[in-house]
């Protein structure tokens, strides 16, 4: 793949994000590339033109994202309609999706810009919330859909079907429906399995279930899951990728199915997925995993 035009997005709340962006821009321009900055980071740097985020995807061959996993998740939901590869530069302390570290940024990009890189196609899920015949919310996720009890003081009841066949009614603090990419996010902290991201499957994982035999289950990618809130009180929340939230009431249904969209992530030229797991989770005595926090694993970033 020949890369001529590169777009850069950065989490402007991250320290030195504007400094790193400006330096990378100059480095790329020096190599004859056209570089476009998302308008938020362009404004923070000052004196440079910016492109509206939704327009950026249509004019570039590669997106470079400075930030953490949350920035990648936000980017993925916007770029889903176009198959543009994304490379994540990690500005945080923890990340599964931002595979390239700052100290290896230029060496990794040398390889990527030469076309000598591999990509991973990550599945997404489409989500639809319905109240009776009315569609209340539609969206897509790269990580997960979480239905939780919100402000309710007791557990909620979630009637769950798979392909219109009754599965069970979970009595729990909530339910996580995740992709393989999301298996190392909130689902992992709730005791779910780690699933290789190239596999296409859907994970259902109850949060603190009342019945201890309610365990995580992995479904085929073709499965359509419907979850209906059967708790009478208002206040249960549906959260998409930890970033978009909607309050549902009794009788509302959340439908989750495999999306026709996929996200293309550029793999790090310096390490594979197993090494990332080993490092992030502290396997084999690594101290990096000791810094693991549920917030970081879920990809939540502000703003």
Backbone angles phi, psi at 30, to 5 degrees: -65, -15
69 catalytic? Reply is yes
* Catalytic residue chosen out of the listed positions 69, 126, 173, 252: 69
Please count the other Cβ atoms lying within 10 Å of the Cβ belonging to residue 212. Answer: 7
Token couple for 131: 């109240």
Query: Number of C-alpha atoms within 13 angstroms, CB side, residue 106?
Result: 11
DSSP state of 194: P
**111-141: b or e for each residue (b if 16 or more CB lie within 10 Å)?**
ebbeeebebbebbbbbbebbeeeeebbebbb
Q: Which residue's entry shows tokens 């073709």?
A: 222
Tell me which residue of 182, 189, 159, 187 sits closest to 172, measured CA to CA.
Answer: 159
297 class by beta-carbon count within 10 Å (0-12 exposed, 13-18 middle, 19+ buried): buried
Please count the other Cβ atoms lying within 10 Å of the Cβ belonging to residue 240. Answer: 22
So which residues are the catalytic ones? 69
């Amino acid at each position: 793949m020949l890369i001529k035009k590169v777009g850069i997005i950065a989490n402007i709340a991250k320290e030195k994000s504007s400094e790193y962006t400006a330096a990378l821009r100059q480095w790329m321009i020096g190599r004859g590339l056209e570089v476009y900055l998302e308008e938020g980071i362009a404004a923070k740097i000052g004196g440079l033109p910016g492109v509206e985020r939704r327009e950026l995807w249509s004019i570039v061959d590669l997106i470079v994202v400075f930030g953490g996993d949350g920035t990648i998740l936000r980017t993925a939901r916007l770029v889903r309609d176009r198959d543009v590869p994304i490379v994540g530069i990690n500005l945080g302390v923890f990340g599964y999706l931002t595979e390239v570290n700052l100290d290896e940024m230029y060496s990794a990009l040398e390889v990527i810009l030469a076309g000598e890189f591999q990509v991973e196609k990550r599945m997404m899920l489409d989500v639809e919330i319905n109240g009776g015949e009315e569609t209340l919310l539609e969206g897509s996720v790269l990580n997960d859909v979480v239905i939780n009890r919100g402000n309710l003081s007791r557990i909620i009841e979630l009637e769950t079907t798979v392909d219109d066949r009754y599965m069970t009614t979970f009595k729990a603090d909530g339910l996580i429906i995740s992709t393989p990419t999301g298996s190392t996010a909130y689902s992992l902290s709730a005791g779910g399995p780690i699933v290789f991201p190239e596999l296409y499957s859907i994970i259902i994982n109850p949060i603190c279930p009342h019945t201890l035999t309610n365990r995580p289950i992995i479904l085929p990618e073709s499965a359509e899951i419907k979850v209906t809130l059967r708790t009478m009180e208002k206040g249960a929340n549906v959260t998409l990728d930890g970033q978009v939230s909607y309050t549902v009431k009794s009788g509302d249904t959340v439908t989750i199915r495999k999306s026709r969209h996929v996200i293309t992530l550029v793999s790090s030229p310096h390490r594979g997925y197993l090494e990332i797991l080993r490092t992030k989770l502290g396997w084999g005595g690594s101290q990096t995993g000791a810094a693991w926090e549920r917030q970081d694993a879920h990809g939540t970033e502000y703003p």
